[in-house]
Amino acid sequence: MGTRPVFSRRAFLKGGTAAVAMPIVVPHSVFGATAPSERITMGSIGVGGMGMGNLRGFMGKKEVEVLAICDVDRAHREAANTIANLPASSLYNDFRELVARADIDAVCVSTPDHWHTIPSIAAMKAGKDVYCEKPLTLTIAEGRALVNTAKRYGRVLQTGSQQRSDTRFRQACEIVRNGLIGDLKTVYVDIPGNNKENPIGWQPEPVPDGFDYDFWLGQAPWAPYHPMRCHYTFRFILDYSGGQMTNWGAHYLDIAQWGIGADDSGPVHIQGKGKFPTEGLFTTAVEADIEYTYANGVKLILHQGRGGNTKFVGTKGYVSVNRSRIEAEPASVLDHKLGPDDVHLYRSSDHKQNFLDCIRTRKDPICHAEVGHRSATLCHLGNIAMRLDRELEWDPRRERFLGDAEAQGMVGRAMRAPWRL
């Protein structure tokens, strides 16, 4: 084994789109002068945990000037502005005001999952390119709407599944795609278990001052406020997310898709078992075992609870990869140099820079809309199979379940007024 370590609010509502946003101004003195014609102006929608990290990341790019910040939580806006230093007029509660600005080229959407699609679509319709955090969507239907919008308006969309811009993951997938471990038979994906305790016996609490809670709920059904319903732990409530299946599956299932070569497709059969909470605030699976089967016979087996990893097993060996290491058997495949006739996958060493470069070239980024949608779909299919507790047949071309009306009804969700795709 080898191991190596633009709309008015009223007009916008009629068109149907909404969310949270964040943008920021970076002093050029920090990085040196950049010609105005070479600058990319950005706004940030959602500046909580991941949003703050993304804000810092884009502010660190010499060609980026952040012009605006948007978040429905005033505390988030104020915290973000300690590094952005924007005028009060550039701090927004309503993302629609941010995307209406003609001086913004692109937005970074780092909201909770149920707020990814609506502002991303709004921004693209307003002529802006989008960097959207993973998982790209809350539902399969949202994903197809995003892909269609990006195509119709000719926009660049980068999904924040940044492992594709890590050399280890690309190498693992190139080993698989070039047959260095023989014919691919099985892919094993591990994702972490839940990392927050379910608040049993929770009680509604007053909404904090400065937090637009109704706007935060957005398309989701109304529910009483509790601090663990929002911000990081929204991930464990099905109204807003898909649990660790979408949180970490959007990383490690994404790599499985890349290695299998299914970036424009998916499995045809899904079966899974999950354990769900019977009380408390959280509703997403705490245990998960899913088996996906692709049309070529490859099986993808996911287990929740063992950390993050993707392992490809073929007829002549295996390659296993995570954020710490890549290992293979035979170890010699790690030293294989690809030739001109071999499969060379998309190369990116910096996920955000790849997005910025594609804004200029108008080429697809490494995790464009279709890629992000298909990887998120894999997560959603697993959740649907677990919730229904039965085997499902899926047509990845038409994106429809076969012979199961209940499952088909879970491809999308009803949205609370006034929000819609």
Residues 173 and 289 in one domain: yes
**Cα 407 from Cα 405, distance rounded (Å):** 5
106, 112, 117: which is closest to 49 by C-alpha? 112
Q: What is the pLDDT of residue 2?
A: 65
Q: What is the pLDDT along the chain (421 residues), one digit of tens a residue?
A: 566 553 344 444 344 443 333 333 343 334 455 666 689 999 999 999 999 999 999 999 999 999 999 999 999 999 999 999 999 999 999 999 999 999 999 999 999 999 999 999 999 999 999 999 999 999 999 999 999 999 999 999 999 999 999 999 999 999 999 999 999 999 999 999 988 999 999 999 999 999 999 999 999 999 999 999 999 999 999 999 999 999 999 999 999 999 999 999 999 999 999 999 999 999 999 999 999 999 999 999 999 998 999 999 999 999 999 999 999 999 999 999 999 999 999 999 999 999 999 999 999 999 999 999 999 999 999 999 999 999 999 999 999 999 999 999 999 999 999 999 9
- Give the structural domain span for 240: 166-197+233-338+369-408
Q: What is the C-alpha radius of gyration for the chain, rounded to an integer number of angstroms?
A: 21
Neighbour order of strands in the sheet with 64-70: 91-92, 64-70, 40-45, 106-109, 129-132, 157-159
Residues 120 and 43 in one domain: yes
Residue with token string 């999308």? 412
Q: What is the pLDDT of residue 35?
A: 62
* Residue 185 CB neighbour total at 10 angstroms: 14
For residue 402, give the CATH number of its domain. 3.30.360.10
| Domain termination site, one of 108, 133, 158 | 133
The conformation of residue 402, written as its DSSP 8-state character, comes to S
- Residue 316 domain-assigned (yes or no): yes
- Residue 52 domain-assigned (yes or no): yes
* Residue 309 CB neighbour total at 10 angstroms: 18
* Residue 125 CB neighbour total at 10 angstroms: 18
44, 123, 31: which is closest to 369 by C-alpha? 123
| Domain termination site, one of 112, 133, 154 | 133
Residues 64 and 185 in one domain: no
User: Residue 378 in contact with residue 135, Cβ under 8 Å?
Assistant: no
292-304: buried (b, 16+ CB within 10 Å) or exposed (e) per residue?
A: bbbeeebbbbbeb
Q: What is the pLDDT of residue 195?
A: 84
Number of domains in the chain: 2
For residue 69, give the CATH number of its domain. 3.40.50.720
